[in-house]
Amino acid sequence: MKSKKTAELEKVSIELLKPEFGIGQIVYTPRKNEVSANRITRYNIKVCKVFDHDPKKEDDLGFPLPVGDGRLVGILHSYELEMAVKIRAGCNSDVTFSVPGYFL
């Protein structure tokens, strides 16, 4: 009999620049030859760890050394929408629920 492993949850803090459009906000997206209302349902965020640097301490190559444990910073990757939209890039097109911020 296989034993099931359970994942442990850990609460972390992530710094995130406020997105231009809020969850639940109505945005207008293209649909065939018209524009239709669409609702933002969630964000997709990429997270990375960044460190502050001490300019007085350098490594062998002359780069400042990181200080502390670092902090998590999130960057908005895309918005999830209630209704799918068709995105065209040249001859190619894709139907998706996830769109980048510049598309709205």
User: What pLDDT, in 10s, does the model give residues 63-85?
Assistant: 888 888 889 999 888 999 988 88
Domain of residue 72 covers 22-103
Domain-located, residue 1: no
Q: Would you state the pLDDT for residue 104?
A: 59
Q: What ranges make up the beta strands (E) of 1-63? A: 14-16, 26-31, 34-58
Domain-located, residue 73: yes
Domain-located, residue 93: yes
pLDDT digits (tens, 9 = 90+) for 21-41: 999 999 888 777 788 889 999
Domain-located, residue 13: no
What phi and psi values does residue 101 have, to the nearest 5 degrees? -60, -35
Domain-located, residue 33: yes
Q: Is a pLDDT exceeding 90 seen at residue 56?
A: no
Domain count, the chain: 1
What's the mean pLDDT when you consider all of the chain? 84
